[in-house]
Each structure stands twice: as C-alpha cells, then as structure tokens.
Amino acid sequence: MEPADAKKELRQRMLAVRAEIPEASRTEQSLAASRMAELEVLSPLRAQRGGKLNVFCYVSFRDEPNTLAFMDNCQAQGDRLLVPKIGAQRSLTLHEVTGMADLVPGTWGILEPASHTVIWPPERYPEIDVIVVPGLAFDLKGGRIGFGGGYYDRLIDELARCSGGLNQVVLGALALEELILPEAIPMESHDFRLDLLFTAKGTIYMKESSDKLGKLGIRARHDAF
C-alpha cells in the first residue's frame, strides 16, 4: 500500500478511536500532560534560556486533547503565546494573544486569533522556543499523522527555512494514551518528526532528538511507555 493510502486508512481509524475516548478521560489526561510538560520541559527550557519562552500552540477543538490548560500555564509563567489562524492557500499565520478574549470562532468554528491581534512574521520564526502541534496519532519515533490538510507540514518547513533548521525549537504534541501507536506511522518526504510527546504519564522523548534536547537543557529519558 502506498504511504498516502496507508495514511488515509489510518486517519479514518484513529478518528473513530479518538471519538470513543470519554470526555472525562480526555480532560484528565490533558490536564496531567500539561502539568508534566511544565515540570519536565518548559521549566528547564526557561532556565536554560534565561527567562520567558515564545510558545506556539493550537487551540483544541471538539474531541482533540484540551490545550487550554497548557496555554493558561504558559501565560501564567509569563511566556509569550502564539496561536495559529488559517489563511489563504492552506496556510497558517501566527498571532500573539494575551488570553481567551483575543480568540473568536473562525474556520470550521475553531477558535482563532481576532483581527486585532498582532501577526508574528516569518522573520521572527527563529525566536520560537516550543511548538505544540495537533495530530490524530503518534508513534515512538516522532511520527505523526494529522488531518491531511498539510497546514503544519508547510509551517514547519517554512520555520526550518527561516531558522536554518530546527535545532533551536522543541517540536511536541499533547498526546492521549489511546492515540500513541506501537507501530510506525507511514511517513512521506514532506512529513516532519516530533521531538517529544506530552502525556499524562510523563514526557516521551524521541531517541533521535536526544542530542538536540540535551543542548537545549532538557534531560531526555527513554523509559518504555
């Protein structure tokens, strides 16, 4: 089976799996994952970089892992919070927000930055410290499958070009236990890999990112999930 066909099949299967996760479990896991993210990654990264972070995070929608606690924590720590907005030609623009008052229903009803929010231009992409992306499923080698629109593939590619690589930014996701697969997710040439997964049981670090995370002051462990 071609990778694109395998991804389409996996996408449909994982949509069904995610829809079956009870809301209470999804909320509990999301809160616990957010706490672990602060303890194990965000706090050490602030210490290494000498202050506040620039954090990019999507706003969760429907049965996605709830990102609001993660976002609230970042703002409580004084971090600058960047949120995506869907633009033309399947692109994303990044906007700086200061709270829920800066968000309004946008494309498909997803909360997006309001028109008054300041756009974070591509030339400032190298200043981003952490990116939290959505996904339908994840594997233990940094593989991820999204919704098929390619929005984040294009964004990460642009960030890499603007920054001369991805060595200074942590790529992660809030991952519910049920969405982490033991088998490898089919990957294509345009797909990017994550450095870590924030879960309720603790952060899962990808071995391939060990050197990068170590240089960023993040002590990676590789305990079995």
Structure tokens at 169: 């930014």
What pLDDT shows up at residue 224? 44
- CA distances to 28, 46, 94, 107 from 84, rounded to whole Å, are 25, 22, 5, 11
Separation of alpha carbons 44 and 219, rounded Å: 8
- CA distances to 98, 139, 177, 224 from 182, rounded to whole Å, are 38, 6, 11, 11
- Asked if residue 59 lies in contact with residue 83, where contact means CB atoms within 8 angstroms, the answer is yes
3-state SS class at 171: strand
Helix (H) or strand (E) holding 30: helix 23-37
What pLDDT shows up at residue 222? 55
68 exposed, middle or buried (CB, 10 Å; 0-12, 13-18, 19+)?
middle
**Residue 180: DSSP 8-state:** B
Which of these, 217, 192, 191, 223, lies nearest to 205 by C-alpha position? 223
pLDDT (tens digit, 9 = 90+) per residue, 155-203? 999 999 998 999 999 999 999 999 999 999 998 888 999 999 999 999 9
Q: Which of 32-36, 71-75, 97-101, 216-220 has the lowest mean pLDDT?
A: 216-220
Model confidence at 205, pLDDT cuts 50, 70, 90, reads very high
Separation of alpha carbons 156 and 125, rounded Å: 10
Which residues, in sequence order, are CB contacts of 123 under 8 Å at separation 6+? 162
pLDDT (tens digit, 9 = 90+) per residue, 59-102? 999 999 999 999 999 999 999 999 999 987 778 999 999 988 99
pTM equals 0.94
3-state SS class at 201: coil
Instruction: Report how far Cα 216 is from the mean position of its chain's Cα atoms.
Output: 18
Model confidence at 55, pLDDT cuts 50, 70, 90, reads very high
* Cα end-to-end span (Å), the chain: 28
pLDDT (tens digit, 9 = 90+) per residue, 126-168? 999 999 999 999 999 999 999 888 899 999 999 999 989 999 9
What pLDDT shows up at residue 223? 52
Which of these, 181, 170, 174, lies nearest to 139 by C-alpha position? 181
What pLDDT shows up at residue 72? 95
Q: What is the mean pLDDT of the chain?
A: 92
Model confidence at 39, pLDDT cuts 50, 70, 90, reads very high
For 25, phi then psi, to 5°, come to -65, -40
- Asked if residue 53 lies in contact with residue 96, where contact means CB atoms within 8 angstroms, the answer is no
Structure tokens at 166: 């991805």
Top mean pLDDT of 51-55, 84-88, 108-112 is at 51-55
What pLDDT shows up at residue 149? 86
Strand partners, 130: 55, 170
